[in-house]
């Protein structure tokens, strides 16, 4: 019989910054080997890997645009056996629906939704073969409630929830859990475009009276990956401070 693998391997897309970075640190502290995917910010990804290695963790840096199926397949081949996929890479953008161009619409869906299709398709054959694996995808509260001036983003994130629920049913018999984390407003680069007044208003609308931190979200992701997530699949957990109840 094959020996039980001792160190688990997590692939986190979009781990050079924000929620992905905090998630990489959380998984490293939990004893995982961490594969850090980035798209454009190589220096940040390398710096994170060096920080994790200095702390005794195993960390690899893997470049890929998740919208590119070939690049994703190469990345997954380099990652080795992936026990946990955290599909986190994402882009956002505020615009009136009537101003959204065809290219903007296509790119929003390509990164946020098709990126999940590419990454999940690339890791699943190995997971199905081993009859074990966890996929955790990042959606958003806007994928649940809909967001004004974020129609393309909200549509993509709603699609993530639909994909997660359907895939959970399909691969459950192979002992693979597929879940979704749908954060509220989190203090990362993604929200640096907001004015001070908008940030204050968002905090006032949130029962817990603050924006979330990347670490708040990382803890939800780690929960799904750990034994607490073993009998949970097709679910959406929303760390949002009570913004959506
Ligand atoms: P962020 O700070 O803007 O970081 C985005 C990350 O995604 C970066 O590491 C970036 O890599 C990577 N990325 C972007 N496009 C990519 C591509 N085509 N291929 C591979 N990687 C790509 O964003 P964040 O706030 O941490 O958000 C992380 C996830 O949580 C996203 O899916 C987002 O939609 C979701 N979310 C965020 C919030 C929030 O309030 N922040 C709320 C709900 C959901 P490079 O920097 O190397 O290009």
Residue 194 lies inside a defined structural domain of this protein: no
Q: Which domain holds residue 149?
A: 9-184+213-237
User: In the block, which residue shows the tokens 């890997």?
Assistant: 49
Distance CA 150, CA 29 (A): 35
**pLDDT, position 4:** 52
Q: Check whether 131 has a pLDDT greater than 50.
A: yes
* Tens-place pLDDT, residues 159-175: 999 999 999 999 999 99
On whether the CB atoms of residues 119 and 13 are closer than 8 A, the answer is: yes
Which DSSP symbol is given to 2? P
Residue 156 lies inside a defined structural domain of this protein: yes
Q: What is the mean pLDDT of the chain?
A: 97
Residue 160 lies inside a defined structural domain of this protein: yes
Q: How many domains does the structure of the chain reveal?
A: 1
From 12, 15, 18, 141, mutation site for ligand 1 pocket: most ligand atoms within 8 A of C-beta: 18
Residue 47 lies inside a defined structural domain of this protein: yes
Confidence (pTM): 0.98
Note the Cα 157 to chain centre separation in Å: 11
In whole angstroms, how large is the CA radius of gyration of the chain? 17
Beta sheet of 133-138, edge-to-edge order: 59-63, 33-38, 9-12, 84-87, 133-138, 176-181, 236-237
Kindly indicate the confidence band of residue 6, based on its pLDDT and cuts at 50, 70 and 90.
Answer: confident
Region 57-85 average pLDDT: 98
Is position 153 annotated as part of the catalytic site?
yes
Q: What is the DSSP string of 170-235?
A: HHGGGTEEEEEE---SB-SGGGTTS-HHHHHHHHHHSTT-SPBPHHHHHHHHHHHHSGGGTT--S-
What CATH number does the domain containing 58 carry?
Answer: 3.40.50.720
* CA nearest ligand 1 atom 32, residue: 90
Residue 206 lies inside a defined structural domain of this protein: no
Share of the chain above pLDDT 70, in %: 98
* Tally of residues, the chain: 245
Residue 1 lies inside a defined structural domain of this protein: no
Residue 242 lies inside a defined structural domain of this protein: no
Q: Check whether 2 has a pLDDT greater than 80.
A: no
From 13, 115, 190, mutation site for ligand 1 pocket: most ligand atoms within 8 A of C-beta: 190
Residue 44 lies inside a defined structural domain of this protein: yes
Own/partner pairs for 58-62, CB < 8 Å, 24+ apart? Answer: 58/7, 58/33, 58/34, 59/24, 59/28, 59/33, 59/34, 59/35, 60/33, 60/34, 60/35, 60/36, 61/36, 62/11, 62/35, 62/36, 62/37, 62/38
């Amino acid at each position: 019989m094959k020996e039980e693998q001792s160190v688990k391997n997590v692939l986190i897309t979009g781990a050079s910054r924000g929620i992905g970075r905090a998630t990489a640190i959380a998984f490293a502290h939990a004893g995982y080997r961490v594969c850090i995917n980035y798209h454009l910010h190589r220096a940040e990804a390398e710096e994170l890997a060096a920080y994790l290695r200095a702390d005794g963790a195993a960390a690899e840096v893997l470049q890929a645009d998740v919208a590119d199926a070939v690049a994703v397949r190469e990345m997954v081949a380099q990652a080795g056996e992936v026990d946990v996929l955290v599909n986190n890479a994402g882009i956002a953008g505020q615009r009136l629906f009537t101003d959204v161009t065809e290219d903007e619409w296509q790119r929003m869906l390509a990164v946020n939704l098709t990126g999940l299709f590419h990454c999940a398709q690339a890791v699943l054959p190995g997971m199905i073969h081993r009859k074990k694996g966890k996929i955790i995808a990042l959606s958003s509260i806007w994928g649940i409630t809909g967001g004004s001036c974020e129609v393309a983003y909200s549509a993509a994130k709603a699609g993530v929830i639909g994909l997660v629920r359907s895939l959970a049913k399909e691969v459950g018999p192979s002992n693979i859990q597929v879940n979704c984390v749908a954060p509220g407003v989190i203090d990362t680069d993604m929200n640096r475009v907001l004015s001070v007044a908008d940030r204050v208003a968002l905090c006032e609308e949130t029962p817990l009276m603050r924006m979330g931190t990347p670490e708040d979200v990382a803890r939800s992701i780690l929960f799904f990956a750990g034994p607490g997530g073993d009998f949970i699949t097709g679910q959406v957990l929303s760390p949002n401070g009570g913004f959506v109840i």
